[in-house]
A and B are shown apart, each in its own frame.
Chain A
Amino acid sequence: MDGLNASEQREFQGRMEKKQMKEFMTMYSNLVQRCFDDCVNDFTTKSLHAKEEGCVMKCVDKYLKGSERLGQRFQEQNAAMMQSGQLPGR
């Protein structure tokens, strides 16, 4: 970030790390909720059966790959937008 001196930079970094940690936890709990909602609908047994487990594994894989792809596209678009001087990244 522009215009911050070294100690401000450090403070800022620290806050960003905290934020990242928080975002990660949020992402994790969203993922659990999403895959649980989409894959587990049968409560005649106490633990996951094979089909549910398979679904959960695929759900997690797919979600992570999807986020990665979204992240890449977002970066590209955001960079393009910043370059042309429009909102929101300034």
Chain B
Amino acid sequence: MSFLFGGGRPQLSSAEKIAAAETEVEMISDMFNRLSQSCTKKCIPPEYREPDLNKGESVCLDRCVSKFFEVNLKVSEKMQGEAAQRGGAGGGMSGFGM
């Protein structure tokens, strides 16, 4: 989470540091769980003809992960762009804390 509190780096208490580290792991594991759910749903049809991933399913999963990250990035870029615009135009509200 250091990108949120990057600036002055105030002295954090132990509890705060642990919580920050925990939040970081939390974010990543949450993202993985979402990706897992979406990609499994999209790539593995509910007919289980064989116990292994077949070629199509494997390739689909690989591409799905890649695209998920790409979408993640696009959304974050767009939101940052909009936040910057808003900040540049009117000042005041610093919408999205990134």
Contacts and interface: CB of A to CB of B under 8 A. Distances in A.
Q: Is the interface of A mostly helix, strand, loop or mixed?
A: helix
Contact of A86 (B29, B44, B76): B76
Given A8-B14, A12-B22, A66 B44 contact: yes
B52 A4 contact: no
Contacts of B17: 3-4, 8
Contacts of A78: 28, 69
Given A78-B28, A88-B28, A62 B66 contact: no
B55 to A, nearest CB: 12
Interface residues of B, number: 40
Interface in A51-70: 55, 57-59, 61-63, 65-67, 69-70
A76 to B, nearest CB: 8
A66 B57 contact: yes
A87 B73 contact: yes
A69 B24 contact: no
B53 A65 contact: yes
Contact of B46 (A3, A38, A61): A38
Contacts of B84: none
Given A8-B14, A8-B17, A88-B28, A62 B72 contact: no
